[in-house]
Each structure stands twice: as structure tokens, then as C-alpha cells.
Structure 1
Amino acid sequence: MLKNYFVIAWRSLLRNKVYTAINITGLAVGLCCCLLITLYIREELSYDRYHEHAPEIYRVLQSFRQPNKEAKLPPPAPEEYQVWGCAPVGPALQEYYPEVQHVTQFTSPNTFLLEHGDKRFQESNITFADSATFDIFSWKLLSGNPATALKELNGIVLTKSLAHKYFGEEEALGQVLRVDNSFQLTVTGVMEDIPANSHFSFDGFISMNTFRKFRPEIFGWWGYVDFYTYFRLPGGTDINKLEARIPDFVTRNVENGANGWYAMTFEPLSDAYLYSRAGRQPGVTGSLANVYIFGSVAVFILLIACINFMNLSTARSLERAKEVGVRKTVGALRSSLVSQFLTESVILSFISAVCALALALLVLPFVQELSGKTLGGSEALKHVLPWVLFAAGVIGLLAGCYPALVLSGFRPASVLKGKFKASTSGVLLRKGLVVVQFSLSIALMAGTAVVLSQLDHMQSHDLGFKQDQMLVIDYGGDSEVNKKIEAIKGALSRHPAVKAATASRAVPGNFFPNAHTVVEDPTGEMIAGGPSLYEIDFDFVPTYGIEMAAGRTYSRDFLVDSTQTMLLNEAAAKLYGYSNPADIIGKKFSQWGREGVVVGVVKDFHYQSLHRKVEPLALRLAPIESLNNITLKVEDGNFEKTIAELQAIWNTVVPQRPFLYTFLDQSFSRQYRADIQFTSIFSIFAGLTIFIACLGLFGLATYATEQRVKEIGIRKVLGASVAGIAGMLSSDFLRLVVVAMLIAVPASWWAMSRWLETFPYRVSLSWWMFALAGVLAIIIALVTVSVKAIRAARVSPVSSLRSE
């Protein structure tokens, strides 16, 4: 009997090739999209989970705020914490909490010029790390002893890729690397490359004892920020009990900590990538909102694919009605007919699943490149294969239930007499399903319009400085370069294409420190704050085209500027109590051993991406040893020729350092890479959703025209035109799309409003975004239905009425 079901099902599918192809295409594309989105979400949720002790690893979040002279500060909001903190918190944790097994700390990435033999490269992603690193994290050491690799003075652990870069196939352990032409590091270990699904990534670790040798004083400063602190607890430890003792920990260890200027909390490692709201992260972070959005899209696509299946199956009901009538007349039971039609449905579903897997395997490299994620590669598809087949079986059964019950329920007498009519409830169901399909499609189209508008808003927003034709040369703070920085700037400026040159520690979009800064407030009291810090030279403000809000910028005409003056931005002026920037001019300040007066306030400019509000910033003339970059403002023209000539000049005046450059607009735009990837993927899946919905509409149009074929013939005999008949057939479906639009617009407006709330600088929702989605849906529906309607209207009435 089962074999008979399969044979009849297979023959039926082959006999109706067009319907079969449409059904398989819709389900396959829907399953493929759902599968790819599942792999994406799986990758997002996998960050840092590969560590053996991941559930037992936490990190310290710290907050540094301006003390309140009158009362204790309330607990910080989640976004007031930052991951970047001070050094003494690590040893203090281990001393205060007996539950803490291991503590490790990293510094922020450093830039070094590494040399071995004739190989010399500038590395910008090497950090200092504690010896307990390998006791907490599960990075495999390929050579060396994990217990001692980061204990040795002047020891460095390289990743496998970095070791191969310098030593090739030669054994790296014990080899010596020269650093910045000044000291040497010995390779004490080689580790596997840090997996892509880590919330931070480094190319190498230098022992923290080496850093301690250079700057021992900062390891006791609670106000100096340059460390990320992680710790591991025994399994089953209640982290809430540890957090309850934090106030006592702060009181015991931090001077004046009881007034709330310093606060800390603990965050699970598993929350670091998707759930953390803290600032100054050590690496990339994901978006939980995007995960929910993609998850919703996957559900929408799968739902629409199932609806298509149901609509296309019931659209064939008239064609198969006589078959059912004959089979019932000769004794077929309804249960056997249900089994027969369910078998067809499941076969179609499994064929679609196989096609979906093949399609996913084909497009997976493109999706990985577009998303910037590995998604597990083809191996991930193998792991999810059983689940895909299971889902295909469930989808086949669920999607085939209604058509099977409808077809098997036909009365043979009525069907064989030609008196069969579709039930009103069935018509309403099919129309309702189309409304659901197009509601989802319109919502996704409106969402796409909003997402594209927001991305364009971020990329075109006035940043408050000039970023076009700005060439940034990163020389890693080389002391020899800094000693003759003015001469090097002069040599580069003499090139006819260079219009201006400046040197600085940081440039917009790159790493910057914070600085403990005390400024005189309107009452004359000196109050402390921790604004971001840009260390710059005299030419930075004019070269970058930053406008002044009050006062003046630095000038070589004032001898005191190099040691006794400071610039702030408008946000920093407000931080110290000045709503009018001009009022802070002449006020006293103290910062990192320098005292003087504020001489100018620059207008707020976006030195970070537009994902964050402009934060308080101090701009101070840099000591020579603090500079890292040279920025050249070059005129538009033959960039390749200009860069080649500038490189020749550089190699002459700075022979010891490679010429490493980026264009500021390109490097700054990298901050929006995740937004661009999200927009591209969202738009593609929204387009595929609309495509699948159109298949469903085509199925319903087919069903409707087959029901009304004799009516169409009579109308043509009575003189109706092709256009009139096509319009009559299309009008019913356009009404459904309008209903869908009335449902989708308020729902998508609410959803996208919530999404935009995650951006401090966001586009305003406009009516045209939703009107455009509705108009596009109507056009798409009209084109889809018209194809079938016009074809039906052009059929000769002789053919449609010959059975009468």
C-alpha cells in the first residue's frame, strides 16, 4: 500500500510539472533562507562558548564618575560601565574573594615593529597578558608550557599565523624578535589562532611582567585605565553572592570609593558579545536586536513557504476533483486518500529540502563573504542535515493536512456531475493566507526602506570634520620619527599634492585613551572628570577643518600653549557645568601633570561612529613621545602616483619604518561594516520573501481563474475585452493587498521605531517609506496576477464553453 502511495504520488507530480516546479521552488527557497539565517544566528550565539570553562568565566566592568560633593552617587546605569579598567582590581579580587580561582588581565592592543632576519613588519594587535591566561581561556598552546609561557620577562606568545609569518616552517619556540629597534623578545610559546567567534582577538601576548618593567607605577593606580580583567570561578558558584559584596570590596580597596565615584560589577563571558551594554569593549560586539530581526525573518519566510504550498495544492483541487470522485466510487476510503495526498506533500517537502541543502551549499560562500561570518562552512550544514530533514517531514505533514482533508472530502456524486463548488470557508482561508503573506512582505519592504535610510543617514551625516582626501600614515609612535616629526612633516608637505600635514596620537575612528581631568566649574571649585583625550599638534584642528565654538585653537604664536593650555569640545564644557562654551574660556585645569587654562572649545565632532553620542573630549598638545600618526590632506587627483611619490619620500627620511597608510574616510567607514552587512543581508532576504509571496499569489490567481473559466468565456462572448476581464480578475487580489497594507503599516511602524531607538543619531520615520512599500506591493501583486489573468482572458470562449 505504501509503495502504491509513492508510485501514484510520483506520477501525479510528474504529470503536473509546472505546479510541481513552483511548489518545489517556493519551499526550497524558503527552507534555504531559513537554513542560512539559522546558521547566522547559530554563529552569533556561539561567541566565546568554545572555552571549556566558559560558564565559569566572568569579566570586571568598571565605572569612573565625577564625585558628588554633597551626596553619594547612585549605582551606575548599565551603559555607564566600561570593560576597560584599572590594574589593581585584578590582584585585589583574588585577595578579597576566596572563590576566585584565577584572574588574568590584558592591556589594550599595542603597535610594535617586529623584526627577525630580513623580515620586518609593523604589528598593531599585540597585547600584554598575565600568566593565568591559559588557566582561564581554552586556547591551545601548540608549543611551549602554558604554565610558564607568560611568566618570563621579555617573553612573547605568538599565534600560529604570526609565527609562520616570521619563521615559516622553522620552529618558533626560543627564537628572538627585535622590537622597535630597541629591545628583544623571546618566543616562549605558539598558540592556535583565536577563533573568529571570540569577542576579542589578538595576534600575540607579551608577558605582563615585561609591561610592569616599563611602567611599574600604574599597577597601583585605581584611576589609570588600560586593562581588561577576567576571572574564573569554581563550577556552581553563585555570582550574585559575590556581587552583593562589591560595596565592601570597593570601600576596603579604593580611596574615597564609598562615595560612588568608582563602581564595578561582574559580567558573564557569555554576555560579552551580544548582551553587554558597557563601553570601551576590547573587540567587536554583536546586536541582539539584529538576531531577533533575522529570527523573525526566518519564521516569516518559512511561514510564507508553507502558505504557498497550501495555496498551490488547493489550486489543483478542481483538476483532481474527478480523480477523487472516481476513486471514492470504486471504494477508496477517505483515510487512504488523506494518506495519498499527505505522501505527495511529504515527497514534495523532502525534494524541496534536498534542493534547499544544495542551494545553501552553493550560496554559502557568498553569504559568508557578505556577512563577514564563517557560519561554520559546509561542516555546519552536515551537522544540521538531520534537523533539516526532520523539519521537511513536519512541514510536509502540516502544510499538506488542509489540502489533503479538502480533496479527500469531495462528494463523488456532486463532483462527477460537475456540480462541485469550493466551500466559502476554504476561499476565506486562502484569501486570509494571502493577506498574511503580503502583510509580512510589506512589513519587510518597509523595514528595508527604513534600514537603508538609517544606513545612508549614518554615512552622510555631518561628522564635524573633513575626512575626504585625508591620508593617515601610522608609524606606531616610533621614537626616532617623533624626534624629527616637524622635519618629516615638512618633507612630506613639500609634495605639491599635499595641502596640509598634522601629527597626533589618535585619529577619528581609532583607539583613544581617557584622561583624569580637573577643571574649574562656574562656582570656582575644581571638579574632576574623565573625558576622552586626543593628543595633537598645532596643525590638527585646521587640517581636519574642525570649527571652534568659542575661544581659539593652539597657535605657535603663544609660547604657553605647549605646556599651559587646553582645548575641550562642547560636550566636555557641559560636563564641567558650562552650557555656554564661551564661559569656560580662561578657566583653570589640571591634567596628567599639566596645569593651565582652557583657551578654546571646539564644536562637537564625531570622533567615534554614530552608534555613540559625542562624548566629552579634551584635546591637548602632545608631548613628542605620544604621537603615533601623521595625517596628510591631499588634493584629489592621481592618488596612485601621489602615494608612490610620498612613499619614496618616506623611505628616504624614515628608512627604518614601513610606509603604512590608510585613507581616513575608508578607515572611519569600517565602523559601519556590520551595519552595511546587516542591511545587505536584510534586503536580500526581504526580496526573497516577496518572491515567495508572489508564488503564493500566482497560485491563488491560478485557482481563481480555473474556477471562473466558463464565466470568462461567457463574458467574452458578450463582448468583454481582454483588459476588462484582466481588471476584473485582478481587482479581488488588489483588495487583499490593500488589506495587507492596512495591517502591515502600523505593525512595521512600531517595530522599526523600536529598532531605531538603538541609534543615538537616527533618521525620522516618514510616511513615504511605508507608502513606497505599499505601492511596490500593489505593483508586484498586479504584475503577478495580470500574467495569469491576461492569459485566461485571451483563451478562446469556444475552448472554455465546449463542455456546455
Structure 2
Amino acid sequence: MNKPNQISPPRWSLKFFRWFCHPDYAEDIEGDLFERFEKRTIENRAAKWLFTLDVLKLFRPGIIKPITGSQKLNNYDMFKNYFKIGLRNIRRHKTFSSLNIAGLSVGIASCILILIYVNNELSYDTYNSNYETTYRVIHYYGQQGEAPDYTSLPTNEYQVWGNAPVAPAMQQFFPEIDKVFRFTSDASWLFSYNSITYSESDVLFADSTAFDIFDWKVIAGNPKTALERPNTVVLTPRLAEKYFGSENPMGKSIIMDNQDPFEVTGVVEVPTNSHFSFNGLISMSTFRNSRPQIFDSWGYVDFYTYFTLKPGTSIEQVQEKVPEFLEANFPNDFNYHIKFEPLSDAYLHSEAGRQPGPVGSMGSIYIFTSVALFILLIACINFMNLSTAQSVERAKEVAIRKTIGSHREALIYQFLVEAILVTFIASILAAVFVIFGHSLLETISGKTLPIDWLFTPQNALLALGGILFIGIAAGSYPAFALSTFKPVTVLKGSFKTSSKGIWLRKSLVILQFSLSIILLAGAAVVSSQLDYLQKYDLGFDSEQMLAVDFGYDDLVQQKREFIKQEFLKHKDVEIVSVSRAVPGDFFPNAGTGVADPVSGEIVYKGPAIYEVDEDFIPAYKMNMVAGRNFSDDFPLDSANALILNESAARLFGYPNPADIIGKSFRQWGREGKVVGVVEDFNYVSLHEDVEPLSLRFGTRFNVSTISVKLKSDDFSKTIAELENIWQGIVPHRPFDTRFVDQNFNAQYESDERFGMIFTTFSGLAIFVACLGLFGLTIYSTSQRNKEIGVRKVMGASITQIIALLSRDFLTLFIIALAISVPLSWYVMNSWLDGFAYRISLGVEVYAVSALITLLVAFITMSFKTVNAALSNPIESLRDE
């Protein structure tokens, strides 16, 4: 067609045209294209570009060739017809459609709700712009005589709680560090404004660099100066509204602990996904003015230290210089080391002790993600099973459509469109479930779970893709299986499904049974462990023990003996004790020296410390295993007596508690003798073993809690009467009370919430699985309809018929049990490893779980098997 030396049109454009153009029109259109091109080459240099443009304009409906002889890519009417038929089938088969939609909607909604929770757990601290470059210092406080290899020392030997001077020393020593920030452990303060007075917890001292490290939302105040001056305080919106209502709090004064006025210099809001939170921040300069000596003490522990790196530097550069830093700054009188933990590890990955707030668990994240996938997988399996169950009814439909010329591809498209349509309807219903279930999930989890991130264009595309994926994945097997039916076989009435299809369905049922047993056994293990924690003998009695927190109030401490005596006069009070902390409370560690059992020299260790009075051990019914308790008969006990627990005695080298009695000790400015050893009791969570503990007499300024043992049946009345006594003695201080057992059990709140979430979604997963089992029961009874009729005519009883229909499922259940038990044991045993005191995984857990699963399965199947067994055999044996 082209002459020599003549310019030719673009080759790739011509190939593209010949590829897509309908053969009936290709020759004529191509001739026209060449004619226009030749005219343009005479006077237009852009002829090739114009040729390509003409080809692209021709790529439109009506000209594109069909993919097959009966289908066209652009056939809108074809897909419209698919949707019409799909909607008709959904309406016609109401039972199956309802089961499909219910199963998918519950599965999708459960999956989304779990992902909302998981996304929130993974989002902790990511609101900070310095998230990737922020680290915190973790500290190792070793025992005397140790020579550990710090390079291989595990993180769980360190703690986040540390000293004050490490922060400025690091700022000066490391040029890689940009900003350093410290805050103290939380404390209770008395807030007074006009006539309003409350005791507020979670109030921290904080450096003025707080806002350089953390991107908290500043509602009022200047973040650069808010925490610079002494006697200034920054409040959260809740406290600002509590004391000032609609007034502007800026510049107003709050009286703290009935002493000094503190100026409100800011209002900030801490995101809910922060690994620590607070109600108020007091300037660190306030703390420095009151106790300047501790800011130079490397042994005084009450601070958390965070820092950011300068651009272009790495944490490895800083860590390499740590030995040099400690040698230059640290007075080497005991084993001490530091290393650095990324902010990204603080919530989910930290193993260090003494965290500033609650921590999450990657194990829980993995478990919940698995449950979400399990539920979605079970829902998709249900879809396959229920669609397969319809195959008997739809076999003739497929056969007739094939007979009148319908291609297999068209049938596949038809069934896939139906599956996607069902998935779309289920997704709409799932969205409704998510909206209503979100608030319930927040209540169960005890967390604020934002969902605004769901409503983004990216997630809208993901949702559309998810609907298509689930629809195609769930509908693929029914589509391809139903489209292979042979019309002649079906219309003759001798239609049977293939053995491959039977084994696939059986495999899916085994998978459903396995997942159900795993989830049910997991829920049983979680419930049993939580029950075990509640009933475990802690080594002390906290029942009906009321704790009154007075926050180290000086006036209360002056009158503590008088308060004790007045409380004891009440008929419903058994005993009263005063202490620094009670089991479940925050406590410090104390550098404590005790005479070595061999050399007699004082050897220092770092046990925890309780400061108590002579009534503390009797009040909590603790057992003395050696020596004696503090006593009024020994007036010098307040200055030179120490009691240890069994673990502390072993720590100092005395496996026999009696051998340590009378040994010399030194602790926090006191010297004297060890007078007693108390039996180990669990003063911390059962996640941990009993740690070494020292108990010394708590003098004025060192106690903050009054424990009151009640013997009343009417707690409200008794507490009200005790409050009247309190107000008569120290009217300036609110009567802030809590029950010790409830306070101690609050340590397991996250475990209990984990259990509730896990059990709830496990129940939903089993419910969805039952829908699929019901569908497969319908399918199997439909396939064996005539067999059931023949057996009934031959004299089979209803019981025999039900047993016949259930026998196959029992075999599948046994196979599933063999698969699920080892998997469940491994997962739940790993979860239980997080508890120092735990249940043992016995056979009874899996026996009960298997029995419940089997019982639920038989109840589910009975709705159809009993109906089939009671049916009239004439109906099934009638020749059609």
C-alpha cells in the first residue's frame, strides 16, 4: 500500500487498531485512515500524531471486536441482565439468600471491628511528628558484686523508671541529642478553687521541653513557656472544665495541697493512643525548688527520660558512647547501666519494668488478627457451602440455559455477579453492624477507638476491592462447579456431583470445625485463667479492706494515730493500719545492705520497700515465718528494725529465714537489725513472681494510706459514718476511698477486656460457622432424599435416619479435633507464658470445648435432619 520513500503511519498505532477493531469494519476504516494520513503528510508535519489520535478516537463501543462470538466487552445490557437475574434469584431463594447475607455480613462486620481495635493498638504514639527519632532511657540497677555483660543483658532486666541527673548529663555529653524531657511518676494532689476541692490523681512534674518531644494538642497557653516558671500547672480539658466551667482558666490560680497557689499556664489534650497520660503537669522547677538534692542523686529513682536525635544521626552512635558517658558522669558505687528504647517500642514491644502507663501486647494483636481472618474465612466457606447446597435446585436452570445456547463463560459471569451482589448487600448490612457495634466494642475494650480513618477515598477503594475479592473468592467454586453440569445428565434426572466437589466440601467443614474448636478452646482457656487469678491465694487477706488515700498530707499524718483510734471506736471496724502503699499500689525500690552470711560484711541489694506500722501485717493477715512483727513493746523499732519477705532473705543469701534474724542492716539512712521474715505474698500482679521486699516502720512524711478492715454488711452506711468521723478531724481533706481487692484486681483489667473481646468474637465466629453447617446439612439431605425415603419404607426408625445423616459429620469432626488441639495448645500456651502463675492446659479444656462444639453442631444439623427423618417418603420417591 505504501510507495517507496513515502512516510508511513506509526507502526504501533496501526497494530493497535488492527488488534481492537471489529473485522467487519476493519478494512474500510483502515482505508479511510490511510487516505487522511496521506493528505496530511503533504502539508502537516504532525501527521503521525494526528493518525494516532484518530486511532484512539476509534477505540469506542460499536467498533471494538467481541472477545467471543457471543460476548462483547462493552455489552452493558449483558451485565444489566446478570444483575436482574441475580436479584431475582436472591428473592426466589429467600432462605439461602438470608443465610448467605447474614453469614457474610456478620463475618465482614466482625473482621472490620477487630481491625478497628488492632489499628488503634498499632497507632500508639504515632501522632508525634518525632515518632521515628524519639527514644527513652531505660536503666539497669544491678546488685552489689555483680559483673554482668551489658551487651547481652536482656531488656526485661532494665526498667524505664530512673534518676534525674542522667537527662542533663546526656544533653551535655552527646552532640547527637537534640532535646531531652523528663517527667516523674504520677501522684495525687489536692486541688482547690473557690469552694471546689478534689483529690486528683495522675499529676506529674514535667520539664519545660515537654512540647518539643510530644505533639499534644495545645488548647490554651504558650507551649514554649507553659512549664518554665515555678508554681505553674498545665491542665487537661477535663480538669479545666471541672474547676472553671466555661471560664477561661488561663492565669487563674489553683491552691495545691492547701498550701501554695499554682497559676494555670496551659490546657492540653493528650491523644487516647498515647502510651502514658496525665491529668495535670506541674513545672519541674517547682520540684527542684522543694527538693534540689535529688536532681544530683544518681541513686534516687523517680523520673522517666525521653530524648530526640538531631537529623542525620543514629541511635547506634549514641549507644556506642554509653560506657564512656557513664565513666565520665556516674559515681561508680553500684552496678548501673543504661540503654535506649525507641518510642515505637514503648507500647507494644517493651519488656522493661516500671512502665509509665499500661502496655499492649503483640501476642494479643496476632490473636485478634487471626480471629478476624478466621471469621472472614468461615463466612466465605459458608457462602461456598450454601451456594453448593443450591446446586440441586439450580442444576436444571443451568442445564436449560446451556441447552438453549448459553456459553460456560456466561454462566460463570452470572454466578460471580450474583456472588458479588450478595457480598455487596452483606457489606451494606455489615456497615450498619459496624456503626452500632463500634460503641459496644469501645465499652468492652475500655478504649476510645476512632473510626474516621475508615472514611477516606483510599479505604473506599479498598472496600470496593474487598467486596470484589470476597465475592469472587466466595463465589468462584460455585460458579465453576455449577457451570460444568452436563445438560443431558441433569435433564434425565441422573445428575450427581463429582467426588472432587464432595471432598472439597468435606475439607471446608473440617476447616470450620477446626477453627470453631480452636476459638472455643481459646475462650475457655482465657476464662479459666482469669478465674484462676481471681481465686488464687495471694498470701494476704484484702477482703472488706477499705483504703483511704490522703496523699502524704502533712496535717493528716500529724493526726494519724488519733484517726486510727477514732475509726477503731466504730462497731464495724476490726483493725486499722497506716502505710505508704497497699498491695497493688505503686512502690519504690530501696538500696538495702544486710550482713553477708559468711563474711559478715554489709552487702547491698535493691529490694522493693513498704513503709508500714505495727498493725499492717496483722490487718492483712500475713504470716510471719521467722522472728517478730513491729511492736509497741520495742519503741526503737521505728528507727532500727527491718522485716524482709522470704524472697528478700534468699536474695541476701539466707535460704533459711530464721538465720537472717538479728543480722545488721542499712537502708535509707537507718541502721539496725532484721527482726522478722514474713511469708511471701503477691504484692504485685500474678503476671510476675513474688519479688524481694523489705518492710520498715513508716514514720511521719512517709505514709499516705490508711487501711480499714470492715466487718459490716452495709458498706455504704459504714463508709458514710467513717467519712463523718474523718471530716470532723481533717475537714480540709476529701475522704478518698477504694477497696483494696478491687484495686488489686484492676491490674487484670486489660486481661479481662482481652477475654471479653476474644470470647465475643469467638462466639460470633461459631455462629457464622453454624450457618455454613446448616447449609451443608441441607445439601446432604437433599442429595440423599430418595435414600431416606427407601430406608423409611424398609422400616428404618427416625433415630436411625438421624444417625445416618449425622455419621459423616462425626467423622469430619474427629479429624478436625486432631488438627485443632495441637494448634490451640501451642497458641494458648504461648499466651499463658505471660503469667508467672497460670493454669495448666489439661485434657478437660479440650474435652469440654469439643463437646460444646459437637453439641452445637448437632443442634444446628437437627433442624434439617429431624425434618428429613419425619418427612413423608412418598414425596421423595414420587417419579418426576
Q: Give the TM-score normalised by structure 1.
A: 0.98
Aligned residue among 397, 421, 444 for 1:323: 397
Mapped to 1, the partners of 2:313 and 2:870 lie a distance apart of: 76
| CA gap 1:729/1:172 in 2 versus in 1, 3 angstroms | same
Superposed counterparts of 1:339-358, under 5 Å: 339-358=413-432
Structure-to-structure mapping, 1:256-271, within 5 angstroms: 256=332, 261-271=335-345
The Cα of 1:525 is off from its aligned counterpart by 2.2
**Offset of residue 163 of structure 1:** 1.4
Which of 664, 667, 682 aligns to 2:743? It is: 667
Deviation per residue, 1:405-426 (Å, 9 max, x gap):
0111111111111121100010
Is the 1:353–1:389 contact (alpha carbons within 8 Å) kept by the matching residues of 2?
no
Contact 1:492 1:498 in 2 (8 A): yes
2:729 is equivalent to residue 633 of structure 1? no
Give yes or no for the alignment of 1:67 onto 2:144.
Answer: yes
Q: Report the counterpart of residue 162 of structure 1 in structure 2.
A: 239
Q: Give 1:787 deviation, angstroms.
A: 1.7
Shift of 1:560: 1.6
SS in 1 for 2:501: helix
Instruction: Give the counterpart letter for 1:641 in structure 2.
Output: K
Task: State whether structure 2 residue 367 is matched by structure 1 residue 293.
Answer: yes
**Counterpart check, 1:118 vs 2:195:** yes
Q: Hey, what's the Cα distance between the residues in 1 that align with 2:657 and 2:684?
A: 21
> What residue in structure 1 maps to residue 514 of structure 2?
439
The residue number in structure 1 matching 2:875 is 799
Separation in 2, partners of 1:537, 1:64: 28
Structure 1 residues 620 and 308: CA distance shift in structure 2, 3 A = same
Distance 2:273 2:831 in 1: 25
C-alpha distance in 1, partners of 2:313/2:148?
34
Distance 1:381 1:676 in 2: 31
State whether residues 220 and 267 of structure 2, in contact with CA within 8 Å, keep that contact through their aligned partners in structure 1.
yes
One-letter code aligned to 2:243: Y
- Asked if 1:509 corresponds to 2:563, the answer is no
Deviation at 1:589, TM superposition (A): 0.8
For 1:77 and 1:429, the matched residues in 2 are separated by 48
Q: 3-state DSSP class of the match of 2:282?
A: strand
What is the distance in 1 between the residues matched to 2:488 and 2:367?
A: 51
Pick one of 354, 357, 381 that aligns with 1:280: 354
Structure 2 residue corresponding to 1:584, chosen from 635, 655, 660: 660
Q: CA deviation at 1:380?
A: 4.4
Question: Which of 712, 715, 719 is equivalent to 1:643?
Answer: 719
Deviation at 1:187, TM superposition (A): 1.4
1:132 to partner: Cα distance: 0.6
Which consecutive aligned stretches of 4+ in structure 1 deviate over 6 angstroms post-superposition?
A: 69-74
Superimposed CA distance per residue, residues 632-658 of structure 1 (whole angstroms, 9 cap, x where no aligned partner): 000031111111111111111111111
Amino acid at match of 1:323: E
Q: Does 1:463 align with 2:545?
A: no
Note the residue ranges of structure 2 that are not aligned, 5 or more in a row.
1-77
8 Å contact from structure 1 (residues 586, 597) kept in 2: yes
Q: 1:59 to 1:697 in 2, by over 3 A?
A: same
Match of 1:761 in 2: 837
431-440 vs 230-239, greater mean Cα deviation = 230-239
Q: Return the alpha-carbon distance in structure 1 between the equivalents of residues 106 and 662 of structure 2.
A: 67
- Measured in 2, the distance between the counterparts of 1:545 and 1:241 equals 53
- Measured after TM superposition, the shift of residue 288 of structure 1 is 1.4
CA deviation profile, 1:388-434 (whole Å, cap 9, x unmatched): 34212210011111110011111111111112110001000000000
Paired with 1:600 and 1:537, the residues of 2 have a C-alpha distance of: 14
AA in 2 matched with 1:19:
F
Distance 1:717 1:455, change over 3 A: same
Consecutive unaligned residues of structure 1, counting only runs of 5 or more, are none
Query: Cα deviation per residue 1:518-554 (whole Å; 9 max; x = unaligned)?
Result: 1112121211111111111111111111111211110
Inter-partner Cα distance in structure 2 for 1:577 and 1:74: 27
Do residues 304 (structure 1) and 378 (structure 2) align? yes
Q: How do 1:129-148 residues align onto structure 2 when only pairs under 5 Å count? A: 129-148=206-225
Give the letter aligned to residue 359 of structure 2. T
1:716 maps to which of 792, 799, 814: 792
Amino acid at match of 2:497: A
The C-alpha deviation readout for 1:499-522, integer Å capped at 9, x for no partner, is 000011111111111111111121
Asked if the contact 2:630–2:637 (Cα under 8 Å) also holds between the matched residues in 1, the reply is yes
Secondary structure at the residue paired with 1:625? coil
Residue 53 of structure 1 corresponds to which residue in structure 2? 130
Taking a change above 3 Å as real, the CA distance of residues 102 and 71 of structure 1, as seen in their structure-2 partners, is closer
Q: CA deviation at 1:228?
A: 0.3
Task: Tell me if the contact between 2:116 and 2:451 (Cα under 8 Å) persists in the aligned partners.
Answer: no
Cα displacement (A) at 1:387:
3.1
Q: Distance in 2 between matches of 1:489 and 1:778?
A: 59
User: 2:699, 2:431 → 1: CA distance?
Assistant: 60
Q: Which residue of 2 aligns with 1:92?
A: 169
Count the aligned residue pairs: 801
Q: Distance in 2 between matches of 1:129 and 1:79?
A: 26
Given that 1:737 and 1:781 are in contact with CA atoms closer than 8 Å, whether structure 2 keeps it comes out as no
1:199 corresponds to 2:275: yes
Contact 1:75 1:263 in 2 (8 A): no
SS in 2 for 1:2: helix
Distance 1:566 1:356 in 2: 63
Amino acid of the structure 1 residue aligned with 2:501: G
Residues 559, 782 of structure 1: CA spacing in aligned structure 2 closer, same or farther, 3 A cutoff?
Answer: same
Distance 2:250 2:472 in 1: 60
Name the aligned partner's letter for residue 279 of structure 2: D
How many Å apart are 1:786 and its aligned residue? Answer: 2.0
TM-score by length of 2: 0.89
The one-letter amino acid of 1:363's match is: G
RMSD between aligned residues: 1.5
1:511/1:71 CA distance change after superposition, 3 Å: closer
Give the Cα–Cα distance (whole angstroms) in 2 for the partners of residues 235 and 356 of structure 1: 46
Per-residue Cα deviation, 1:71-128 (whole angstroms, up to 9, x for no partner):
8777532111101000011001111111111001001112211111111111121111
Corresponding residue of 1:429:
504
- Greater Rg by CA: 2
Paired residues for 1:513-552 under 5 Å = 513-523=588-598, 524-552=600-628
Identify if the C-alpha distance between structure 1 residues 757 and 69 changes in structure 2 by more than 3 Å, giving closer, same or farther: closer
Flag the 1:483–1:251 CA change in 2: closer, same or farther, 3 A: same
Q: How far does residue 133 in structure 1 lie from its aligned partner after superposition?
A: 0.6
What secondary structure is seen at the aligned counterpart in 1 of 2:177?
Answer: coil
Give 1:216's aligned residue.
292
- Paired AA for residue 654 in structure 1: V
Q: Are 2:544 and 2:711, in contact at CA under 8 Å, matched by a contact in 1? A: yes
Map of 1:653 onto structure 2: 729
| Aligned mates of 2:191, 2:460 — CA distance in 1 | 46
Q: Pick from 569, 573, 589: which aligns with 1:498?
A: 573
Mean CA deviation greater in 775-784 or 348-357: 775-784
Counterpart of 1:451 in structure 2 is 526
> Offset at 1:137?
0.6
